[in-house]
Every structure is written in structure tokens, then in C-alpha cells.
Chain A
């Protein structure tokens, strides 16, 4: 707490002041979240669980490198957003649970920097295990296939994994304000299954296989020639434009969730 207050002063401009407060809050949230063993246990366990039986079958030595990396990314993102969202949902009402809301309201750090700091800091901390696991995988692939795996791997992380994770992070630090963490988690699990895995063949309306899914299938298919699942069921081979649309949709939804939540919280605030 003291560290947050110290780092917010002195303000140079209104915008610089807001940014300094956000960075300070993000740093504090990051350090709190990244030290929770539960974050590491859950996220790494879910990545490990999926990678015990990766799909589709691919050969590390012969499959084209972009496809190989994209298919690994597809395996990473199938389960880990569930863990990321579940452990992040705790953070939303933490201050209220600890009775710190009044104290925080009395500090110069406003609602906006605290919300954005939580999203950036706690979100980055919760995705740190994903990044670490990805770096380990890239190390393995580099040993087998050479240094070419590194740029492809970084691009795949940014294009396939990150948009979905940013979307889940933004939802997980905003929606629980409305629902509470327990119903949110159920909603997240249901959404992830319905919206990303329940293909059109089940006869239920679903975004799975469209650019509006969050599992990175479109960028993986369009830019890395990765395996298609639900999009293939719809008879779609994603184009670059559709991949851009998919990434942009997720990022814009994340942005909208945070902006709307900030507006609502600011309106509700007594100060």
C-alpha cells in the first residue's frame, strides 16, 4: 500500500499522473498475484493436463514449423484460460472482502488506475505461468528444430494465445463485480465449453468456429496453417482478414469490458 502511494507522486500532468498511478497499481497487483502458489499450480496443471495427450498427432521433427507451433498453442489454450479466469476472479472483490474500500477511496489513486492496474498487473501475473511454460516449450523446439522456432513461437504466442487470454483476463476482473466470483466461474466454464468447443454439429447456436471464438483457431489457421476444428465443421478456411477480425474482436471486447466497468464503478463511487 505504502509503495503504491509513494510511486504515484509527484504528478507531472493529468495524463502522466493517471499513467503513473496505473503503473504503480499494476506493479503491486502483479507482485501480489504472481506470488500465489495457487496461480502457478492451477495454470501449469491445466497446461500439463492437456499436453499429456496433445492433439492433433504431430511429429516434432517433420511437421512444418509454423503448423507445429500453432498446434502446440492450440493445445495450450484449450484449458489454461479456465484456470486463469478462475484464479483471477478472486481479485475483484478482494478489497471489499478485506474492508479496504474506504481506505483505498481516500487515497489519490482513483477507481480507474486501480481497475486498470488490477487488470494489467494481476492479468500479467496470472498469464506468467503460461508464458513460462511457452518459453520452456520453445526451448525444446529450438533444440530440435533450430533457432527458427523462436520468432515463430513469439508470433504464435502474440497472435494465438494472447488475444484469448487478454479477453478472459478482462472479463475476469470486471464481470465478478456484477455476479460475484462463484457464479462467474460457472459462467466462464460454460462459456469456454460452449463458445470454443461445442461445434455446430451439436445443433446449438454457438460462436465456436466463427471469428468470435476465443481459442485462437482463426489466427492459427490463417497465419500458421494450424489444425482447424470447429471452423472446419463450418466448412471455413480462415483468411488473414478474418484472423484480424477475430483478434480485434477479442481485444475490443476486453477494452469495452474494462471501460464500461470503470464508468459504472465511477458512477457508483460516493466521492
Chain B
């Protein structure tokens, strides 16, 4: 039922981003790309494409009810929205996990990452981006605006990498840590914990905002 409401586009978009990254890595492997390029591509697919696609897809779910008032009167809207986001995020996360296993088997793996990288390379960035996308979509009442900002932040993280890495606070929120260069273990751990902590905090904030679902009435749906 909820899948019918959100439509096929959001889950397919999230999966397409994840699978697109996998196809790129497999194609590079098949065409004999250098080990260094292959490792970076695998890291970018896991920590870059998959979280971005999932976040943009998740943000598009906000404001989809043309009769939102009816939904709010008959059920807890927070639960409905989180369920819908789950329908996008869970399949994308499972496919990304499979991607990670395949990449490791192909020896296309970010430098210095161990077995914990199967999850930690992509899950904290995905949580961070999805949570932020939801918060922006609700705050701005516009999925389009939220996805624009998320896309911009995602590109800016790579574009402004040198400045981000110079700042202790921003470095802890860097999504692509350890993808193209090996970083000390403690720095990697701090980054993963900080990303996850901020992601969880933002999810809590989203839950609190969803306590007032009337904010969605008249939202600028896409």
C-alpha cells in the first residue's frame, strides 16, 4: 500500500545509483583499469553514489500525499513517513552491502579498509545524507529544494576537501574519508562515529518535527 503511494521512482532511483556505481566498477575491472583507479572507484560507488541516490530518493517522499489531512487524521504520520523512507533505504542498503562484498572479491577496495568496511564505508554516509535530506525536505517543505541542497553539499564535500580536512569539526563530518587516501585508524573511527551520531541526532530531530505533521499540508511536492 505505502509502496503504491510513494511510487516506483524513489526506490528505483536509489537502487539505480547503487547499481550504477557497481556497474562502473565492474566495467573498469573488466577493462583492466589500474588498481589505484579501481580502489577509488569502488570507494566512490560505496561512499558516494549509493548514499547520494538513497538520500535524494528519500527526500522525494515528503509531501506526496495529496490528501495529507486524511492520512493525519487516521494514523500517526511519523510512522507512515518513516515506513515509506524504509521502503527506499532498506533495499538500497542491502544492495550496497552486496556491492561491497563483490568489490572486495574483485580486489577493488579502498586502501586500508578491513572487513568492517563492508558496512562502515557506506552506512554512516548514507545515514548522514538520508537524515539531512529528510530534515531539509521537511524544513523547506520542498523535496526539490532538499535534493538540490543535498546534491550541492555532496559535491562540495569533494570540491572543498582540502579546506574540510584542515578543520577538525568538518573533518569529522567528511563523507569520503579514506576513499582516496589512507587515513590513521583513530581518525577513521572518529569520523565514522561522528557521522553516525549526527545522522542519529538528525533522525531524532526529524521525528520531533513529524510530531507536527500539519507542517506538510500545502508542501511543494515533486
B135 near A: Cβ within 8 Å?
no
| Contact yes or no, B9 A182, CB < 8 A | yes
> How far is the CB of A2 from the nearest CB of chain B, in Å?
22
Q: Which of A29-65 contact B (CB under 8 A)?
A: 36-39, 41-42, 45-46, 49-50, 53, 55
Q: How far is the CB of B67 from chain A (nearest CB, A)?
A: 14
| Residues from 14 to 37 in B contacting A, C-beta threshold 8 Å | 16-17, 20, 24, 28, 33-34, 37
Distance of A24 Cα from B201 Cα, bound (Å): 47
Q: In whole angstroms, how far apart are the Cα atoms of A53 and B37 in the complex?
A: 28
Q: Is the interface of B mostly helix, strand, loop or mixed?
A: helix
Interface string of B53-81 (1 = CB under 8 A from A): 10011001000000000000000000000
Q: Are A192 and B140 interface neighbours, CB within 8 A?
A: no
A189: interface (CB < 8 Å):
yes
Answer whether residue B209 sits at the interface, using C-beta atoms and an 8 A cutoff: no
| CB-CB contacts below 8 Å: A74-88 with B | 78-79, 82-87
**Chain B nearest Cβ from A123, distance in angstroms:** 15
Which of B10, B17, B53, B159 lies in contact with A79, CB distance below 8 A?
A: B159
In the bound complex, how far is the Cα of B60 from the Cα of A192, in angstroms?
20
Which residues of B lie under 8 Å from residue A46 when comparing CB positions? Answer: 148-149, 152, 156
Q: Is the CB of B140 within 8 A of A38?
A: yes
Q: How far is the CB of A90 from chain B (nearest CB, A)?
A: 4
Interface residues of A in 1-40 (CB under 8 A from B): 36-39
A50 to B158, CA, bound (A): 12
Say yes or no: A53 contacts B163, CB within 8 Å: yes
Q: Name the residue of chain A whose CB is nearest to the CB of B142.
A: A38
| A202-B145 Cα distance, complex, nearest whole Å | 31
Instruction: List the A side residues contacting B34 at CB < 8 Å.
Output: 203
Interface residues on A, range: 35 or more
Question: Does A86 contact B159, Cβ atoms closer than 8 Å?
Answer: no
Q: Check A183–B12 contact: CB distance below 8 A.
A: yes
Query: In the assembled complex, which residues on chain B have CB atoms less than 8 Å from the CB atom of A42?
Result: 145, 148-149, 152
Question: B131 at interface (Cβ–Cβ under 8 A)?
Answer: no
Residues of A contacting B153 in the complex (Cβ-Cβ under 8 angstroms): 49
A186-B13, A203-B37 known; A79+B60 contact, CB < 8 A: no
Which of A37, A189, A190 lies at the interface centre, i.e. has the most chain B CB atoms within 10 A of its CB?
A: A189
Given A36-B220, A204-B37, A204-B41, do A41 and B152 touch, yes or no (CB 8 Å)? no
**A50, B56: Cβ atoms closer than 8 Å:** no
With contact pairs A46-B152, A197-B159 given, residues A182 and B221 touching in the complex (Cβ less than 8 Å): no
Whether A186 lies near B221 (C-beta < 8 A) is: no
Q: Report how far A78 CA is from B24 CA in the complex, Å.
A: 24
Query: Knowing A53-B160, A202-B40 touch, does A192 contact B16 (C-beta < 8 A)?
Result: no
Partner of A50, one of B144, B145, B156, B220: B156
**1/0 per position for A189-213, CB-CB distance to B under 8 A?**
1101100010000111000000000
Which A residues are in CB contact (< 8 Å) with B49?
Answer: 190
Contact of B152 among A37, A45, A180 (CB under 8 A): A45
Which residues of the partner chain A approach B149 to less than 8 Å between Cβ atoms?
42, 45-46, 83
Residues of A within 8 A of B156 (CB): 46, 49-50, 79
Q: How far is the CB of B64 from chain A (nearest CB, A)?
A: 10
Produce 1/0 per residue, B136-149, CB < 8 A to A: 00001110110111
Closest 5 CB pairs of A and B: A86-B148, A38-B145, A203-B37, A189-B151, A83-B148
In the assembled complex, 16 residue pairs joining A and B whose CB atoms fall closer than 8 Å, in A order, are: A38-B140, A42-B145, A42-B148, A79-B159, A86-B145, A87-B142, A180-B9, A182-B60, A182-B222, A185-B147, A185-B151, A186-B57, A193-B158, A202-B40, A203-B34, A204-B41
Which B residues contact A (CB, under 8 angstroms)?
Answer: 9-10, 12-13, 16-17, 20, 24, 28, 33-34, 37, 40-41, 49, 52-53, 56-57, 60, 140-142, 144-145, 147-149, 151-156, 158-160, 163, 220-222
Known: A86-B147, A183-B9, A204-B37. 7 other contacts (CB 8 A): A86-B151, A87-B148, A89-B144, A89-B222, A180-B9, A181-B60, A183-B12
